[in-house]
Amino acid sequence: METKYKNTTIRITSGVYEPCEDSFLLADAALAEIKDADHILEAGCGSGIISAVINANTKASIIGIDISPHAVKCTKENGIQVIRGDLLNCIKGKFDIIIFNPPYLPTREFEKEKGWMNAALDGGPDGRQVIYRFLDDAGFYLVNHGKILMLVSSLTGIEEIKSRMLSLNFSVEEVVQERFMFEQLVVLLATKL
C-alpha cells in the first residue's frame, strides 16, 4: 500500500501503523517549525511518513528510531536513515528538534494488540506511560533551547502532559489542534529552558 502526502510517496508494509490524521497533523506542524540547518530525530517513526515529508520539503537532516523491526524496515525502505531502539536509549548526540507521535491510547490489558502493532498504540492504562518515559529523557538529547514536537490526544489528558513538561523545565505551547470524531488532537511544542 502507498500513502502520498506533501511531495512524498511512501510504501506501507505489513505490521506497520498506517499514517492517518495524527501523522499528517504532526507532519504539518513540523514543517512550520523546522529550519533547514536543523538536526532532527523522529522517535517512534513507524512507517517513516513524517521523516519522509521533512526530507522531501526541507534541507534539515533527520534520523528515525523505532522499537519495531517492521517499522524500521519500512522506514529504511522509504529512504530514511533509521535505527532500532526503545525510545531514546540508543541515541548519542543532541538534536534541535525531537518529533514524537507516541502511542497515546489508554489501553487496558484485554485491549492490547498482538505483536509489534501494540507498541504503536498502547499508551498504558492512562495513555501517558510511554509519553512520560520519553519526556523524562528527552531533555538530555536536545541542544540548548531545543524543541519537542509531540502529538497528544484529549483521551490521554493534555493538561497532565503539559504539566509534566513544565515540571521538566520546558516551556509549552499548543501549536495546532484538530477535532477528529471522538477526540481532540493537539501538537505540543515544548522548548527546553
189 grid coordinates: 511544542
Does residue 103 have a pLDDT over 70?
A: yes
Q: What is the pLDDT of residue 74?
A: 93
Question: Percent of the chain, pLDDT > 70?
Answer: 93
Of 19-23, 158-162, 169-173, 189-193, minimum mean pLDDT range: 19-23
The predicted model gives 8-22 an average pLDDT of 87
| pLDDT at 27 exceeding the cut of 80 | yes
pLDDT tier for residue 169 given thresholds of 50, 70 and 90: very high
Q: 90: buried, middle or exposed (CB in 10 Å: 19+, 13-18, 0-12)?
A: exposed
What string of H, E and C letters represents the secondary structure of 37-67? CCEEEEECCCCCHHHHHHHHHCCCEEEEEEC
Fold of 2-192: Rossmann fold (3.40.50)
Instruction: Take residue 70 and report the three cell numbers written for it.
Output: 517492521
Phi, psi of 37 (to 5 degrees): -90, 0
Q: Where are the domains of the chain?
A: 2-192
Give the list of residues 6+ apart from residue 88 with CB closer than 8 angstroms, or none.
41, 43, 65, 98, 134, 137, 138, 140, 141
| Residue, of 167 and 180, whose pLDDT is higher | 167
